[in-house]
Amino acid sequence: MRGERFGSGPIAEGTEFRIVAKFLGRENELIYRVIEYDPPHAVTVRGENATVVSLDRITFERRTGGGTTIRYNADLQLKGPFRIADPLLGLAFKPVGDRALDGLKKTLG
């Protein structure tokens, strides 16, 4: 997976990113826009391309005694005639989620 941010300045609602991720054996590009930014508690982004819309919400909760619980929820919906495959999308997306989790674990130690 790779990505780039459009523009400069502090991240805020409206900030956009281009993300390219491998999904079902091919690279897919989505343009994500920050639609909620509430540091240090949560961020919600909406990604879209010609075939899918993704609404991703990440929350951060401090744990008593130290550490932080991070929750990542992604709701993907196919567009147009592809919607018929929506029930299978979760199964197909699991490897992407697993790779993202592995990356977070490596980054956060």
Question: pLDDT digits over 38-51, tens only?
Answer: 999 999 999 999 98
pTM of the model: 0.78
Q: Does 1 or 54 have the greater pLDDT score?
A: 54
Please compute the mean of the pLDDT values over residues 66-75 and round it to a whole number. 89
Enumerate the domain spans of the chain: 2-108
CB contact at 8 A, 58 and 42 = yes
Q: Is the pLDDT of residue 25 over 80?
A: no
* 2-108: CATH topology: Alpha-D-Glucose-1,6-Bisphosphate; Chain A, domain 4 (3.30.530)
Q: Which two tokens stand for residue 105?
A: 């674990």
Give residue 9's pLDDT: 93
Give residue 99's pLDDT: 73
